[in-house]
Amino acid sequence: MQEEVENRTVTLIVNTAKMTGRTLKEALRKYLAYQNAKSKNKAVQDVKPTGKQSVEELIGQNVGVTKVEIEDKSIKGFEKIARKYGVDYAIRKDKTADVPKYFVFFKARDGDALKSAMTEYAQSELKKQSKPSLLKKLKALGELVQTKEPKVRNKDKGLEL
């Protein structure tokens, strides 16, 4: 029990001519600020970037980088699926080509996860293409309604003279 108390004690040395409450308060405030800065600095050093990052950050992790080309404008769908699978990736747009291409850089060790993410992305894109647009359906139904002749009701049906 005594060891636990000794391990948790802090020695604070303050050089002052006269110890007042203000001096003690200022010394404690500086000590706490020092501890906070020390813990924040340690936390910043320990954090490794995950998910979407820049190509430089990805290469800076020294784990090997691989790239895949995607020739689709809807890259946001891929980003959502990549986050779901926990893949560390970076996206670059190739502006030299007429049709925009996207290069997806990822860690070599994330190959299996990326393969799963790419298959799910491809399935979702095929599903989107196979479903006709709701707006197109509504437009076709609207045209059908306009071409159809309206029914005329005869209110004088029951009255015969």
Chain mean pLDDT for the chain: 81
* Domain assignment of residue 119, yes or no: yes
* Domain assignment of residue 148, yes or no: no
Instruction: Identify the domain containing residue 83 by its residue range.
Output: 55-130
* Domain assignment of residue 18, yes or no: no
* Domain assignment of residue 27, yes or no: no
CA dist 68 to 101, 108, 119, 126, Å?
10, 11, 13, 19
pLDDT of residue 17: 86
Is pTM, for the whole model, over 0.75?
Answer: no
* Domain assignment of residue 69, yes or no: yes
CATH of the domain at 89: 3.30.70
pLDDT of residue 161: 52
pLDDT of residue 25: 92
- Percentage of the chain lying above the pLDDT 70 cut: 90
* Domain assignment of residue 116, yes or no: yes
* Domain assignment of residue 71, yes or no: yes
Position with higher pLDDT, 1 vs 70: 70
pLDDT of residue 46: 58
* Domain assignment of residue 39, yes or no: no
Burial annotation 116-153 (CB, 10 A radius, 16+ → b, else e): ebbebbeeeeeeeeeeeeeeeeeeeeeeeeeeeeeeee
* Total structural domains within the chain: 1
pLDDT exceeds cutoff 60 at 159: no
Which pLDDT band holds residue 151 (cuts at 50, 70, 90)? Answer: confident
Q: What is the pLDDT of residues 21-56, one digit of tens each?
A: 999 899 989 999 988 888 887 766 656 777 788 888
